[in-house]
Amino acid sequence: LIFSGVSFQPGEILKIALILFLAGFLEARRNEPLQTLWRGIIPFLFPVGVSVALLAAQPDVGTLAIVLAISFGMVIVAGARMKHIAVLVACGALVFGLLVASAPYRVERFTTFLHPELDPQGAGYQINQSFLALGTGGWFGEGVGHSRQKFQYLPEVASDSIFAIVGEELGFVATAGLVLLILLVWFRLLRIARAAPDAFGRLTAFGIGTWFLVQSFLNIGAMVGLLPITGLPLPFVSHGGTALLSALAAAGIAARISAYTKPV
């Protein structure tokens, strides 16, 4: 989206806005029967449904998956019944599946990762080039600045495919360290959520942690061939103005919550 000559990604802003809204929404109902369907779950579906509808209209399947994961995670922590969660997950999976099936190129993207070698110059090109970059890097990499795949071979090297370039230049050791660092950030956010002084802080920190973990999993999973390519950046690593600013803003909010945490 371009506004006054400045481009930004509304989906990135939506993630942090939805986390804050749902945290306040669920905290306001902490003394009400959240476990009931009509007074607890149905009202929760309205803000989530609006977000899903906006993302489906773009369409942005990757961000939609993250929004669903954040929403389900936060309502579970808030105390919803698991049978209601199961229904919500089934409905979310149905919406996600219909959105993918509605466009042939998305169906192709979601099936190509199973056998990318069948179309190395077409739909499987990015995955195959990612495999080549990671395989070339070996244990310790080719050295900083010595990547070959970043020279017009691997698409989106500074954003979607940055993990493959890290593997090519710095090797498996560096990529494993990056994964451990992501998990460390997630565990730290869980500790902040557990020690938060109120429900709003707990839900906000948990939502941010879910966001970072799921988005990292989708990005890295696509680069190693475990998941379809969704076009999502790797938080704090990929190049991108709106994505980086949103992630930094979320980290700042989590740090502020941490300043008021109680010992655990």
pLDDT of 1 > 60? The answer is: no
Longest dimension (CA), the chain: 59
Q: Are 117 and 124 in contact (CB under 8 A)?
A: yes
Alpha helices in the chain (DSSP H): 10-28, 42-57, 61-77, 82-101, 104-112, 125-137, 162-195, 199-223, 241-258
Within a domain: 241: yes
Within a domain: 263: no
Judge if the upstream peptide bond of residue 10 is cis by omega within 30 degrees of 0. Answer: no
pLDDT of residue 180: 97
pTM, 2 dp: 0.87
Within a domain: 264: no
Bridge partners of 2?
7
Spatial neighbors of 135 by CB under 8 A, at least 6 apart, are none
What is the tally of structural domains in the chain?
Answer: 1
Range of the domain at 82: 2-258
pLDDT of residue 35: 62
pLDDT of residue 181: 95
pLDDT of residue 7: 61
Predicted confidence (pLDDT) per residue in 40-73, tens digit: 677 778 888 888 888 877 777 888 889 989 988 9
Within a domain: 149: yes
Within a domain: 145: yes
